[in-house]
Amino acid sequence: MAQISPQLIEAITKEVIKALGEFPRVQEPTVCTGQIPVLVLGELQPLGAKLLEKYRLYQQEDYARDGDIHKYQGVIITGLTNAQLSDVALARDSRPFSCAVGKALLCGIPVYLLESALTYRQYKQTANKRFYQVLEGYVQRLREFDIKIGSLAEIENWLSCRPASPKASSAAKGPSKVLCAREAQELINGAADGKIKLPGGTMITPLARDVLRGYEIEFI
């Protein structure tokens, strides 16, 4: 087997470092222009300048860091896949996207869906009728959950008409912490003695309870 010279290793290392340096830096998932905190699930691009000026917009990465939905005064969905649509409609909370929406609904935080995010509607003329009806049924379920669906102008109006809560972060101190399935699985991975410790007053979603089945839950 031919030996690799130190010079070749050094040259390869330099090329790798150079290539890594060409990757764009990850931007902070927050647009800190306004004062009212709002979680955006999807791209920021569809949102207008008025929202950027008035609201402090956070993206999904910020929510994923601590799972604290109480620090936001609203959730805006600007993009979602068919899978994410069905997850929310069926109250599945095993993924960060649907977990965030589910927690918001449980905690009384308003959720808004930008109508343009329903991209499957572009295929209305060619889509299988039954398949299309299933997706429309999921959208109707979201409306039943009081998720408001509309244009950007309508969402801006809904947000401006809603009185801001005194302090979004103060709600996090209350007894309404919600545990979703994804977080339950993370707790199991760190449970060595078969016991799961949760803060007092924690609400456990049905899927999370299924995940924790067989484990002793202790509220502290």
Residues 150 and 60: their CA atoms lie apart, in Å, by 21
* Nearest to 37, CA basis, from 115, 97, 105, 109: 109
- Residues 211-217 have a mean pLDDT of 73
pLDDT of residue 75: 96
pLDDT of residue 90: 92
Q: Return the half-sphere exposure (C-beta side, CA atoms, 13 A cut-off) of residue 34.
A: 17
**Position 23 confidence tier, pLDDT thresholds 50, 70, 90:** very low
pLDDT of residue 150: 93
Residue 130 predicted with pLDDT over 80: yes
* Structure-model confidence comparison of residues 140 and 48, the more confident one: 140
- In the predicted model, what is the mean pLDDT of the chain? 79
What distance separates the 2 farthest-apart alpha carbons in the chain? 73
Residue range 72-111, pLDDT digits in tens: 999 999 999 999 999 999 998 888 899 999 999 999 999 9
The answer to whether the beta carbons of residues 34 and 55 sit under 8 Å apart is: yes
Annotated domain spans of the chain:
30-172, 178-219
Fold entry, domain 30-172: Rossmann fold (3.40.50)
Dihedral-angle region of residue 194 (phi above 0 means left; psi in -120 to 50 means alpha; beta otherwise): left
Residue 208 predicted with pLDDT over 60: yes
pLDDT of residue 46: 87
pLDDT of residue 174: 41
pLDDT of residue 182: 75
pLDDT of residue 219: 67
Could you identify the residue written with the tokens 């499957």?
A: 120
Residues 66 and 157: their CA atoms lie apart, in Å, by 30
Residue 170 predicted with pLDDT over 80: no
The answer to whether the beta carbons of residues 165 and 73 sit under 8 Å apart is: yes
Could you identify the residue written with the tokens 């484990």?
A: 215
Q: Which two tokens stand for residue 191?
A: 């449970």
Please report, for residues 44, 86, 161, 201, the alpha-carbon distance to residue 145 in angstroms, rounded to integers and kept in the order given. 24, 13, 19, 23
Residue range 58-81, pLDDT digits in tens: 999 988 888 889 999 999 999 999
Could you identify the residue written with the tokens 């939905």?
A: 69
pLDDT of residue 105: 94
Residues 115 and 158: their CA atoms lie apart, in Å, by 14
